[in-house]
Amino acid sequence: MIRGLAQHISEYDIRQDIIQCELMPKDIRLIRKKDTGTSRGFAFVEFATLHEAVRWMEIKQGVLMLQDHYRASMQYSIPKEGLSAEKPINYKASADWFCIKCGAQNFKRRDNCFKCHASRTESEEGGSGSDEVCAYPTKTIMMRNLDALTTEDSVMAVLNTVIPDLVKSISAVCVGRDLLTSTSRGLCYLGTESTIDALAIFGSLNNLKTPLTIDGKSVIISYCKYNMGDTKRAYSQADYEAFPNAAVPSTYELADVDSLAEYSARRYAKTPQEYSNYLEYYRNYFSQQISSGHSVTLHQDNQMDAANAAAAVAQSAIQQVNANKNYCEPTSSSSLPTGTDGKKYREY
């Protein structure tokens, strides 16, 4: 088991480290929050033999350093088979669970979702594509729970019906397929040229009068952490390469303002309008910070930062409105008394 993983670290990052040690993992499971798909900061790595697990632990000495910057701790854990063998037949988890298909919260005693009747096992295993879900907007939208026979053409046919005005902003569409069998994984990726386009499509698909259905299957819409599902092209990796020290105070130049603003706006915006507001706010904010010689610390993926950012943007907007209300044209200077204007003047 690996603990203390950074939010953006993926299964791919862990796998690459293991391969560099000339080992091959049997399975890597990054544990994620059911409601958002974000990492919970720990993962399980399973090897085919005990010798391989011991070998990796000896090489790393219990400390895993990923991307030359992010430190995590390693420890042995009980295998899934061993854990399940110890459970009684009538074993029930001690906590409520969230359905991966509809997002409904279910009591711990339920084996099927009360809302859509999906099995509890499917939700606990994560479901196909759940490890690709991104908690913040990216340029790739992922459609999950598709029928195995659904094609790119059938997806676009439905989108042309439900969001005809936004289809033109989709630059690429691709059904995710198994590399060995070429069978559909029940996923489809929609690529866009900009974050604003993705925000508009995502919002429209999630706010339809009736839930989106393709070929008789209710579709789950989310952002994808990879560019068109390619695990070698993670958006988080590109962000890390651009800003490797995002979590610590760093010094930037004015030429970095646009990139910094886009980086931050993507983390918090939920709609195209919010994205534009955040972008304008952060351009002004980072320009002031850099011009004043102050260091900059970029986002940390948590709700408190999101709330603080939203409050800052709202406060900025209020101040702008008040400034506009209080603004008045300068009055002309008082004219000198002439003695012929019919006014009485007091001498001081």
Domains 2-77 and 132-234 share a fold: yes
DSSP 181-242: T--EEEEEEEEESSHHHHHHHHHHHHT-SS--EETTEEPEEEEESEETTEEEEEHHHHHHHH
Q: Give mean pLDDT, residues 211-229.
A: 90
Cα separation, 176 vs 183, whole angstroms: 8
Task: List pLDDT tens digits, range 293-333.
Answer: 888 877 554 443 444 555 455 555 545 555 555 554 444 44
Coil vs helix vs strand at 327 = coil
Instruction: Check if the beta carbon of residue 197 is closer than 8 Å to that of residue 169.
Output: yes
Name which of 71-75, 151-155, 193-197, 310-314 the model is least confident about: 310-314
Q: What is the pTM of this model?
A: 0.54
Residue with tokens 């001690």: 94
Cα separation, 254 vs 257, whole angstroms: 5
Nearest residue to 298 (alpha-carbon basis) of 4, 7, 72: 7
Q: Give mean pLDDT, residues 94-122.
A: 71
Residue 264: the pLDDT is 85
Tokens of 348: 């001081």
Residue 70: the pLDDT is 83
Q: Give mean pLDDT, residues 172-199.
A: 90
Say how many CA atoms lie within 13 Å of 17 toward its Cβ: 21
Annotated domain spans of the chain: 2-77, 96-127, 132-234, 243-312
* Fold classification of 132-234 (topology level): Alpha-Beta Plaits (3.30.70)
Residues 6 or more apart whose CB falls under 8 angstroms from that of 237 comprise: none
Residue 331: the pLDDT is 46
Select, from the ranges 104-113, 196-205, 228-237, the one with the highest average predicted confidence (pLDDT): 196-205
Residue 287 DSSP class: H
Rounded to the nearest integer, the mean pLDDT of the chain is: 79
CATH architecture for the domain at 2-77: 2-Layer Sandwich (3.30)
Name which of 121-135, 222-236, 284-298 the model is least confident about: 121-135
Per-residue confidence band for 88, with pLDDT thresholds at 50, 70 and 90: very low
Name which of 55-69, 88-102, 189-203, 247-261 the model is least confident about: 88-102
Per-residue confidence band for 14, with pLDDT thresholds at 50, 70 and 90: very high
Select, from the ranges 19-23, 73-77, 246-250, the one with the highest average predicted confidence (pLDDT): 19-23
Residue 193: the pLDDT is 93
